């Protein structure tokens, strides 16, 4: 007996089973996957970081001893 993992689609919050037969996982459908991609492309989604380094390129960082 297997216990299926139930997750929420990150886009529409619909409950679905984590299943290797779902090519869109962790999304429930192609439309939710596309909506998420567009949000990242439009910079509506962000990954938090240290604002001190946001505008620095790796060549601008001080050398580490």
pTM score, whole prediction = 0.64
Tell me, yes or no, whether 2 lies in a domain. yes
pLDDT tens digits, 10-53: 999 999 999 889 999 999 999 999 999 999 999 898 887 766 66
Q: Structural domain tally of the chain?
A: 1
Alpha-carbon distance of 58 to 65, in angstroms, equals: 16
Alpha-carbon distance of 47 to 41, in angstroms, equals: 13
Report the CATH number at residue 37: 3.30.50.10
| Contact status, residue 26 vs residue 10, Cβ threshold 8 Å | yes
Chain centre distance of CA 22: 17
Tell me, yes or no, whether 61 lies in a domain. no
Q: 6: which strand partners?
A: 17
Tell me, yes or no, whether 4 lies in a domain. yes
3-state SS of 39-51?
A: HHHCCCCCCCCCH
Tell me, yes or no, whether 50 lies in a domain. no
Tell me, yes or no, whether 8 lies in a domain. yes
Residue ranges making up the domain that contains 3: 1-43
């Amino acid at each position: 007996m297997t216990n299926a993992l139930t997750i929420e689609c990150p886009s529409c919050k619909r409950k679905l089973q984590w299943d290797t037969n779902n090519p869109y996982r962790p999304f429930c459908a192609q439309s939710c996957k596309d909506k998420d991609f567009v949000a990242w492309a439009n910079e509506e989604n962000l990954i938090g970081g240290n604002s001190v380094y946001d505008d620095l390129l790796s060549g601008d960082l001080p050398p580490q001893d």
